[in-house]
Amino acid sequence: MKIDYPLKFYPILKERLWGGFKLNSLLHKEKSEQPVGESWEISAVEGSVSAVANGDLKDLNLRDLINRFPLELLGQSVLDRYGKEFPLLIKFLDAHSDLSIQLHPNDELAMQRHHSLGKEEMWYIMEAAKDSRLMFGFNQKLDKVSYSKHLKEDTLESILHFEKVQKGDVFHIPAGRVHAIGGGIILAEIQQSSDITYRLFDWNRLDDQGNSRELHTNLALDAIDFTTPQSFKTSYHDIKNKENTLIEGTYFSTHFLNLNQSMHFDHKFTDTFVIYIGVEGSGRIVSNKHEVSIQMGETILIPAQLQQFSIIPENNGIKLIQVTP
């Protein structure tokens, strides 16, 4: 059997203490009575494995799909590097209130402690309320000793770097970088396939049971990257009907597409799957005899076997994030 059509997956919604209701109202996700913080769009993480939502492979989960069609789905280059492990996790996040101050370990530390990949990630801001902000790294030079002193004296917030954001901003978060998403932000997140997070500080708030949330102070100390880059935001071009480079990371590459006319793609020589994330507008992905719609808040996986296809914008066009491992 060939995997010769674009794959949609059922979103996996995650209730979160800091979540809201915009994943439903803005991104067309299933309505929930409780605040939802995350929609896991394509995932092979244990306990949260995505299932196909369209076509002949409908209801087959991603792990089973890879086991049955590893080369056709992933491509040889991905198999050579990761075997049959799906290397990425794609999400949408609705931060109604501030997330905790946190970081993720690198591959070496995550494997040693959790038998897991680490987490490098990227954010694309889809909506931001006035004066909303993100937190990245530190506003001064630190080391383990000076950082530990601030932690002990409960002055951690004073040494953090905060940055106001707006729609269309892009940020790259390598493993080890302390960070947090502020309230009022909707974003698309591309990351390694990992769910390992070390929480440093949670604004002294309580969960719905009246308990303080668990912190990972000791685990985090050896995982923190204390370097302070000159710029945290990623600059990029927004040239219509072109693949504009966003991030060329260690684990994934991303491009921004702003289409108001049809664009044809030939991935004959890439030998990998490709993911498209709808961040604004709507359109169609057309290949052979197959046609799949995509709109803001939807995610499509193009199997490695499907090498030629076109994206056709509708109405006022479509904006997409293109992701390759």
CB distance 177 to 105 below 8 Å: no
Unique residue bearing structure tokens 């590459």: 253
- Terminal CA-to-CA distance of the chain, rounded, Å? 24
Query: Rounded to the nearest 5 degrees, what angle is found at the Cα of 318, between the Cα atoms of 314 and 322?
Result: 135
Q: How far apart are CA 177 and CA 169, in angstroms?
A: 18
- Residue 142 three-state SS: coil
Out of 199, 205, 213, 284, the active site residue is 199
Q: How far apart are CA 80 and CA 70, in angstroms?
A: 11
Q: How far apart are CA 82 and CA 107, in angstroms?
A: 13
Residue type present at position 177? R
| DSSP calls for 210-275 | S-BPP--HHHHHTT------S--BPP----TTS-EEEEE-SS-EEEEEEESS-EEEE-TTT-S-EE
Query: Rounded to the nearest 5 degrees, what angle is found at the Cα of 208, between the Cα atoms of 206 and 214?
Result: 45
- Residue 114 three-state SS: helix
133 assigned to active site: no
Catalytic residues, which ones?
199
